[in-house]
């Protein structure tokens, strides 16, 4: 995952402007964490499936976007096409591979998605090769803008804005639509929803596809920032799981707050001690779990 661009090895020369820019860099990084974590939380909260292939879906989104751009598809069209394509693949995975494992315990889909992630990575290596590819920032989003504390890359502000739009849209869908009500009810008690005549399997299918589609969008947005390689989903998956655990397994609000917090912690740590940036993520998780084992907004006993 890309890191904050402003790093230093000492306290000398630090200013409020520099710290302010670093905070914005952390929010931009946290926005990508949020896109990964809300997909993980959505899938786990509804299906109780720990999706270890989520990082592979993130990587797949970057490669689908790379392929579409290479054949002349506009970046703005890719913003719609990539989550639809990756989400469609997620629908197939849920229907064919994961659905037969429901009711057999949480370990079965976990192990299946763990193996599936390796299969997806190897298939991408076969099709695209092992070498990485750079992805150009769209011309309209190149350059930097003055945000009051200095100039900040316009594309990173765009990533933050897209994440905000996704979060607002997801909230409206879950809180203001009948289908969202069914999803929230099914997350709490799927048996009651089934008794009321709702096809809960169809709801699970849609939720899994939605979570995978959001992960694919995250991969597309991250591609101009870090390039595209087959292994790009591994590190971000580990960090997204930290975000999910800190926020609380299955909690969308927790995923949002924890994602932004982790991004800021990584960014600020990079400013003072770059070599400790990754350690800081897991140190934060340890502190949170010691104080509140279920995370910020998690429900105790959800994993049992």
Q: Which of 102-116, 130-144, 184-198, 262-276 has the lowest mean pLDDT?
A: 184-198
- For the cut 80, the answer to whether the pLDDT of residue 303 exceeds it is no
Show Cβ contacts of residue 271 under 8 Å, excluding neighbours closer than 6 positions: 4, 6, 7, 8, 14, 18, 19, 22
Cα angle for residues 259, 91, 73 (degrees, 5° grid)? 75
Q: To the nearest whole number, what is the mean pLDDT of the chain?
A: 87
pLDDT digits (tens, 9 = 90+) for 205-219: 999 999 999 999 999
| Of the candidates 266, 279, 295, the residue with the CA atom closest to the CA atom of residue 31 | 266
Give the residue with greater pLDDT, 248 vs 120: 120
- pLDDT at position 176 is 87
pLDDT tier at 300, thresholds 50, 70, 90: low
Is 159:27 a contact under the CB 8 Å cutoff? no
pLDDT tens for 128-165 read 999 899 999 998 999 999 888 888 999 999 999 999 99
pLDDT at 3 over 70: no
Question: Does pLDDT of 8 surpass 50?
Answer: no
Chain position carrying tokens 């469609």:
88
pLDDT band at 301 (very low <50, low <70, confident <90, very high): low
State the chain's maximal CA–CA distance in angstroms: 65
pLDDT value at residue 192: 74
Give me the residue label for tokens 């399997």: 201
Dihedral sign from CA coordinates of 153, 154, 159, 160: positive
Give the residue ranges of DSSP H helices in 96-232.
107-128, 154-176, 178-188, 190-195, 200-226
Q: What percent of the chain has pLDDT over 90?
A: 57
Q: What is the mean pLDDT of residues 114-122?
A: 95
Question: What pLDDT does residue 11 have?
Answer: 45
Q: Is the pLDDT of residue 181 over 70?
A: yes
Confidence of residue 7 (pLDDT cuts 50, 70, 90): very low
How far is CA 178 from each of CA 166, 171, 174, rounded to the nearest angstrom?
19, 13, 8
Confidence of residue 9 (pLDDT cuts 50, 70, 90): very low
Highest mean pLDDT among 47-51, 102-106, 124-128, 190-194: 124-128
Least Cα distance to 175 among 165, 161, 185, 162 occurs for: 185
Residue-wise pLDDT for 49-104, tens only, equals 889 999 999 999 999 999 999 999 999 999 999 999 999 999 999 999 999 988 78
Q: Pick 27-137+146-291's CATH classification: 1.10.150, 1.10.10, 2.10.260, 1.10.3470.
A: 1.10.3470
Q: Euclidean distance between the first and final Cα of the chain, in Å? A: 32
pLDDT given for residue 16 in this prediction: 79
How would residue 188 be classed by pLDDT, with cut points 50, 70 and 90?
low
């Amino acid at each position: 995952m890309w890191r904050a661009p402003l790093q230093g090895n000492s306290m000398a020369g630090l200013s409020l402007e520099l710290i302010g820019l670093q905070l914005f860099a952390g929010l931009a990084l946290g926005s990508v964490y949020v896109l990964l974590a809300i997909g993980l939380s959505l899938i786990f909260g509804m299906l109780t499936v720990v999706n270890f292939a989520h990082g592979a879906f993130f990587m797949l989104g970057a490669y689908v976007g790379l392929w579409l751009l290479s054949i002349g598809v506009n970046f703005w069209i890719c913003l719609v096409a990539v989550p639809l394509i990756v989400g469609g693949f997620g629908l197939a995975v849920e229907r064919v591979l994961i659905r037969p494992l429901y009711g057999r315990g949480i370990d079965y889909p976990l192990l299946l998605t763990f193996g599936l992630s390796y299969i997806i990575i190897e298939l991408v290596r076969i099709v695209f090769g092992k070498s990485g590819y750079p992805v150009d920032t769209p011309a309209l989003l190149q350059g930097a803008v003055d945000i009051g504390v200095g100039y900040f890359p316009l594309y990173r502000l765009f990533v933050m804005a897209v994440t905000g739009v996704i979060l607002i849209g997801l909230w409206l869908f879950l809180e203001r639509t009948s289908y969202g009500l069914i999803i929230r009810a099914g997350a709490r008690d799927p048996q009651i929803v089934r008794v009321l005549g709702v096809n809960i399997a169809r709801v699970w299918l849609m939720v899994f596809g939605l979570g995978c589609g959001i992960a694919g969008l995250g991969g597309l947005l991250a591609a101009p920032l870090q390039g595209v390689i087959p292994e790009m989903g591994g590190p971000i998956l580990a960090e997204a799981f930290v975000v999910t655990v800190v926020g609380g397994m299955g909690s969308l609000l927790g995923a949002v707050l924890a994602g932004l917090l982790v991004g800021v912690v990584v960014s600020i740590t990079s400013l003072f001690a770059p070599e400790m940036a990754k350690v800081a993520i897991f140190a934060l998780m340890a502190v949170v779990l010691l104080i509140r084992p279920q995370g910020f907004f998690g429900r105790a006993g959800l994993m049992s």
